[in-house]
Amino acid sequence: MTLANDKQIASDINAKNTNSASSDNYHIGALDIGSNSFHFVFARVVNDNLQILHSEKYRVRLAQGLDHDGILDQAAIERGVKALSDLAPLTEKLSPENFRVVATFTLRQARNAQAFLDAAAQVFPFDIEVISGHEEARLIYQGVAHYLPPATQRLIIDIGGGSTECVIGKDLQTSQLTSLNIGCVSFSRFYFANGEITEQAFARAILHAKQEIESHVSRFKNAGWQEVIGTSGTLKTIFQQLNLSRGNNQAFNLAELHSFKDQLIAFGHADNIQLPSLKESRRHIIAPGVAILIGIAELLAIDSIDYCDYSLREGVLSEQLEAIQFDDIRDRTINSLSTRFNIDQQQVEKVQQLATRIYQATSRLWQLDKKTYQQLLNWAIWVHEIGYDINPSAYHKHSRYILLNADLPGFNLEQQQALAWLVGNQRKKIQFEDNQLWYLLDELRLAKLLAILRLSILLSQQRQLTEHADIQMSAQKDTLNLHFPANWLNEKPLVEVDLAQERKQLSLVGITVNFH
């Protein structure tokens, strides 16, 4: 694409972005930072549906730069940053409210992901959310489900550069999902090094794929499905190649997939592959993709696979549209958790009332105005007691474990970790995470959220704080002043002792609490 065209597209996008969310001409965008390619998509809302207006694909092969120790090399970082720099002009007038960026396997795995994110921030003005494998799988399913007829139980398979997602669902609800750490870029390095394609390489790669899916076979087969849909670039290439001789597109079967494998082996090397319409960028990753698909298809006893052109980025768009029209899926996730673990809603509301007052007194001076921080505080309050069903004496530890390990639809990895950290440190000694790196969230602001959470819970426990207690609050940069009614603390010496201990704990995170 020429620079002139880039400028024209950017002008069109920017011009279209002046409408309100309630308008049929409201526009939204999404960027999928994948392990093989970066995908940008721009759409408008028409009669409560999405109409794709423009898409861009940047072949980056980020996973190619990820070594065995989880370090992303400088060349890969530079390729990714260059792609973001090229994309930036198209996003000049987009905003965080209508544009979301998600990153997948490679940045999940990279121990030096911060280096990439810091470099990206210099040329690209939007937050990059690193999402979990299960969240990636869920969003892929949403992308497919919103564009195919409902009422059919489907198995969705997406083979990416670094990971492969398998999801079963019906309508817009998933029932089983997994994210496997196998992808066409990583398999290319491990089994088809230097481009050589052999029977032995295929056998080893297929066996590896089977080993990865093996532990999920039983629950997937028990869930069942009526059709299998492949999505994204690898499946698209396989689908196109197997349909070239037919003249029309239709599902392919396992026998055809094996014949295609034999055809690739006959070429002997990726550079020798002569297939109609096969892009140069696909030569070295088509064989690994076929191997992964054969392994999954054989172990799950799949015979027929169809293709859908929608995937993760469309799932991100669909979820943005739902948030505009209805509510944030993360709110639904938190409500589901609170119901599942029998949360005492009266106590939650009591804690929330006090936390809201403290937040209002501190948010401006403590720089907590960003919506994400207010949401994190509210979510933490709603689920802070979910560990009670396991063991009341150490419920905060169990609550933390649940939040760290549960599937939390809508949450990116950093938000999930922040929520678990807040809830896990709501009482007792504050524990610090040695290896935790905050990319989008500020550590000091999280500490201030923790102070609000801990104080609200402390002053609400055992109904020590009545509705009539009139606590006056004031704040400075890193200080909170609590002014209790006359004799209130004298009448509640246990609260005063608890506050004194709390003051010591919060001083460890740089927060000063004064009370009298």
Q: Are 168 and 177 in contact (CB under 8 A)?
A: yes
Asked if CATH classification 1.10.3210.10 holds for the domain at 327-465, the reply, yes or no, is yes
- pLDDT tens digits for range 41-79: 999 888 777 888 999 999 998 998 999 999 999 999 999
Please identify which residue in the block is written with the tokens 């991100």.
Answer: 316
Q: Is the dihedral of CA 402, 406, 411, 416 positive or negative?
A: positive
Q: Are 354 and 459 in contact (CB under 8 A)?
A: yes
The pLDDT value recorded for residue 230 is 97
The pLDDT value recorded for residue 24 is 52
The pLDDT value recorded for residue 251 is 95
DSSP annotation of 88: G
Q: CA–CA separation, 278 vs 70, rounded Å?
A: 31
**99: its two tokens:** 């544009």
Q: CA–CA separation, 495 vs 493, rounded Å?
A: 5
Q: Are 185 and 128 in contact (CB under 8 A)?
A: no
CATH of 148-309, one of 3.30.1330.40, 3.40.50.150, 3.30.420.150, 3.30.420.40: 3.30.420.150
| pTM greater than the 0.75 cutoff | yes
Q: Are 290 and 76 in contact (CB under 8 A)?
A: no
CA dist 29 → 16, 120, 123, 203, 307 (Å): 12, 18, 18, 41, 23
Residues of the chain with CATH 1.10.3210.10: 327-465
The pLDDT value recorded for residue 25 is 60
Q: Are 29 and 36 in contact (CB under 8 A)?
A: no
Which residues are CB-neighbours of 121 under 8 A, at least 6 positions away?
A: none
Q: Are 60 and 39 in contact (CB under 8 A)?
A: no
For 122-169, give the secondary structure using H, E and C: CCCCCCCEECCHHHHHHHHHHHHHCCCCCCCEEEEEEECCCCEEEEEE
Residues of the chain with CATH 3.30.420.150: 148-309
The pLDDT value recorded for residue 1 is 33
Task: Give DSSP secondary structure letters for 307-322.
Answer: EES--HHHHHHHHHHH
Which helix (DSSP H) or strand (DSSP E) does residue 201 occupy? helix 199-213
Q: Are 286 and 203 in contact (CB under 8 A)?
A: no
What are the residue ranges in the chain where pLDDT is below 50?
1-11, 13, 15-23, 463-464, 468
C-alpha 104: how far from chain center? 7
Q: Are 418 and 376 in contact (CB under 8 A)?
A: yes
- What value, to the nearest 5°, has the Cα angle with vertex 366 and ends 364 and 369? 50
Q: Superfamily assignment of 3-130 in CATH?
A: ATPase, nucleotide binding domain (3.30.420.40)
- pLDDT tens digits for range 181-236: 999 999 999 999 999 999 999 999 999 999 999 999 999 999 999 999 999 999 99
> Phi and psi dihedrals of 148, rounded to 5?
-120, 155
β-strand partners of 51: 44
Percent of the chain predicted with pLDDT > 90: 73
Residues of the chain with CATH 3.30.420.40: 3-130
For 261-307, give the secondary structure using H, E and C: HHHHHHHCEHHHCCCCCCCHHHCCCHHHHHHHHHHHHHHCCCCEEEE
- State the virtual CA torsion across 492, 495, 501, 504 in degrees, nearest 10: -100
Please identify which residue in the block is written with the tokens 């550590």.
Answer: 443
Helical packing angle, 345-362 and 371-383, nearest 10°: 150
The pLDDT value recorded for residue 467 is 57
The pLDDT value recorded for residue 8 is 47
Nearest to 109 by CA among 161, 41, 174, 52: 161
The pLDDT value recorded for residue 418 is 95
- What value, to the nearest 5°, has the Cα angle with vertex 323 and ends 317 and 326? 130
